[in-house]
Amino acid sequence: MNINKFRFRIASAIVGLGAGLAVLCAGGGAGTASAVSCQAVDGQQFEKVVEKSGCGVKAGKGSRATALESSGRGTAVAIADTGGEATADNRQPGSIALAGASEGGNARAVTIGPNALALAKAAKGEDTLAVGGAGSQAKIGTDGAVCYGTAALAVELNKARGCAKLGPALVVQ
């Protein structure tokens, strides 16, 4: 019973820190002078570069990939295959958002701070989210989760596993 209470506390901490990062995310947009967006479905591939902004997407049959780079100086790349859905959203300069999904997985990667990396990989029905804050890295995939820096969230939502880092606090599930 103590183990269940501990898992509940860890899951609650991840959700709480995630909510805090979501608040930051809502107000973390940058200017859109060089914003680029890319979308691909069902076998399409598309790349776009405007000034210092770039996005790229590739979607296999039955899949959807979306990438948005709105910082004016960054990169967003999304790749989906075999029924997957991938979304990469780079909102801050010097940052990179990467998302990959396959076999019905759903991956979302968002940067909310400058010089951040958000990498989300999902397979076989997984639902992943990576949020990278200023100078931080958030990575989630089949190899587990990594949160580095001062503001990062990486979580597989269906299994409530992942990590959250906010300042000196690190929570890992």
Given a cut of 50, whether residue 31 has pLDDT beyond it is no
- What pLDDT is stored for residue 19 in this prediction? 40
Nearest to 106 by CA among 88, 87, 119, 89: 87
Phi and psi (nearest 5°) for 94? 75, 10
Residue extents of the structural domains in the chain? 2-172
Using only C-alpha atoms, the chain has a radius of gyration, in whole angstroms, of 16
- What pLDDT is stored for residue 42 in this prediction? 96
Lowest model confidence (mean pLDDT) among 9-13, 65-69, 119-123: 9-13
Predicted confidence band of residue 33 (pLDDT cuts 50, 70, 90): low
- With beta carbons less than 8 A apart as the criterion, state whether 130 and 154 touch: yes
Residues 92-115, mean pLDDT to the nearest whole number: 98
pTM, full prediction: 0.81
